[in-house]
Amino acid sequence: MTLSLPTRGYLLACGGTRGRISGRRRVAMLVRAAVVTDLLHRGRLADHGGKAGVTGRGPTGDLLLDDVLANLAEDGPRPWRSLVRRDGADTLRSLELQLVAANLLRERKTGLLGRSVLELADPAAARRERARVEAALRDPVSEVDSGDAALATLAAAAGIGFSPRDFRADSARLAELAGRAGPAVPALRRLVRRQRAVRSGGHG
């Protein structure tokens, strides 16, 4: 099965011991940026003077990508940061429903109140994505495909999947890979920094 970039980003974000995500807001931004990047790589979006414009409307083979593409086509060109910021929570929930239907996620009841949580059906899926990111940071740049380059740089921008120290150590390589990913990466990085600044200010 060929996984979409947002699916791969979500699986990477589930890399904890419990096989589920934490920090839904940041994961939502990662997923949304991955959707935009995937559409760019498939030739359905293009950059027009710093704005993303739809260049193709046919089915992508992925329901989430098709839904987002249809919405973007109705709106006309918009700044990349606007696309990454928009409808993040809804995009994340739509992806989770899709992953449950594909048996990549499962619902589990926890605690006395029977609260439902989503967790990976196969925790090895997160390890596989982490291994591909590690390879992207280690292998010759010419051998890294665009999907792995995008996953590594998006995860770095969101601070998901690896510690900040790990990504700082690989900053030079990430800069090399960023050009293969596209404009959603710097857009995501700015949004995550803004979120952190707001949160820090709220605790000052």
Q: Does some domain include residue 202?
A: no
Q: Is position 179 within any domain?
A: yes
> What local confidence, expressed as pLDDT, does residue 57 receive?
80
Alpha carbons 106 and 118: distance in angstroms, whole number: 6
Q: Tell me the three state secondary structure of residue 139.
A: coil
CATH number, residue 129: 1.10.3630.10
The span from the CA of 29 to the CA of 80, in Å, is: 12
How many domains does the chain contain in total? Answer: 1
Q: What is the pLDDT of residue 112?
A: 62
Q: Residue 95 — very low, low, confident or very high, per pLDDT cuts 50/70/90? A: very high
Place of tokens 């990504």: 167
Confidence of residue 17 (pLDDT cuts 50, 70, 90): low
DSSP state for residue 4 in the 8-state scheme = P
For helices 63-75 and 24-41, angle between their N-to-C axes, nearest 10 degrees: 80
The residue with greater pLDDT, 15 or 52, is 52
Query: For the residues 13-25, what does the mean pLDDT come to?
Result: 84
Determine the pLDDT at residue 60: 94
Across residues 152-158, what is the average pLDDT?
Answer: 94
- pTM beyond 0.85: yes
Beta-strand pair 78-79/51-54: antiparallel
Tens-place pLDDT, residues 29-80 = 999 999 999 999 999 999 999 999 999 888 999 999 999 999 999 988 999 9
Whole-number pLDDT of residue 202: 62
One-letter amino acid at 179 equals G
pLDDT in tens, 113-137: 778 889 999 999 999 999 999 999 9
Confidence of residue 20 (pLDDT cuts 50, 70, 90): confident
Q: Does residue 204 fall inside a structural domain?
A: no
Which structural domain range is residue 33 located in?
A: 5-197
In a domain, 184, yes or no: yes
Tokens representing residue 24 in the block: 């839904």
Residue 93 lies in a domain: yes
